[in-house]
Structure formats: structure tokens, C-alpha cells
Amino acid sequence: MREVCLLIGRGGAVLWSDTSDSAMALADSRARWEAIWRHREELEAVVHSHPAGPHAFSHEDETTMDAVDAALGKGLRYVVVSPKGLVVREGGKEVTAPAEAPWWVPLLRLASGM
């Protein structure tokens, strides 16, 4: 298992992805920050997996989301995909996950080894 990150743009397009060698962490990456900046106009969501849990955003996730929003000057949607389902944050608050998972969720689960 490994954590996987996807940058999602308009219409659910996958704009960029990267992976870790760990089921528990996705190391900070200059390439990821550059991709976020490069796609800032069309970027709608940053999603990643927690294949070994938790079914929640970590403290590191929270501080990273705050930093991304501050850098972009706008709030994005953030999603964690865990074995239990989706956790979604918008506008700095957790919101109800969609009733129907986006098309990329099975792909992220497969890539994560869930």
C-alpha cells in the first residue's frame, strides 16, 4: 500500500499525480507545489489516499491545506480517500461527502493498493 495524491481540475480532470513509498505518509514535494501553482487557474481539488487510515485529515494535512489556500488566495476542496470512504473539506470545514463518488476514486484506491 502507498499514499497517492491527485490534483483535480475542472470537470474532474486529473491534472497531475504522485505517489509515496509509504502507506502512512506522502512526503512534501517541490514538484507537487510547482504543479499546484502551474494548474492554479483550473485546479479545484487536491485529493490523496490514506490506505492504512485514518479516515480523517491528519494535522500535517491540515497545515498543508492552509498553506495551499494561502498561497493560491482561494480555498480549494480537499479529499481523503480511506478504506472507509471519503472525507471532504471545503472552506476550511469538513463537509458531507458526495453520495456518488467521483470517477477517480476507484483509480486512486487501485493505485494505493486498497
Number of separate domains in the chain? 1
Q: What is the CATH number of the domain that holds 66?
A: 3.40.140
Taking the C-alpha atoms of residue 51 and residue 25, their distance in angstroms, rounded to an integer, is 10
**Does the pTM exceed 0.85?**
yes
Task: Note down pLDDT in tens along the chain; length 114 residues.
Answer: 999 999 999 999 999 999 999 888 888 899 999 999 999 999 999 999 999 999 999 999 999 999 999 999 999 999 999 999 999 999 889 999 998 999 999 999 999 999
CA-closest candidate to residue 42, choices 81, 12, 6: 12
Q: Identify whether the C-beta of residue 114 lies closer than 8 Å to the C-beta of residue 1.
A: yes
Q: In what order do the strands lie in the sheet with 14-19?
A: 14-19, 4-9, 43-49, 77-82, 85-90, 93-95
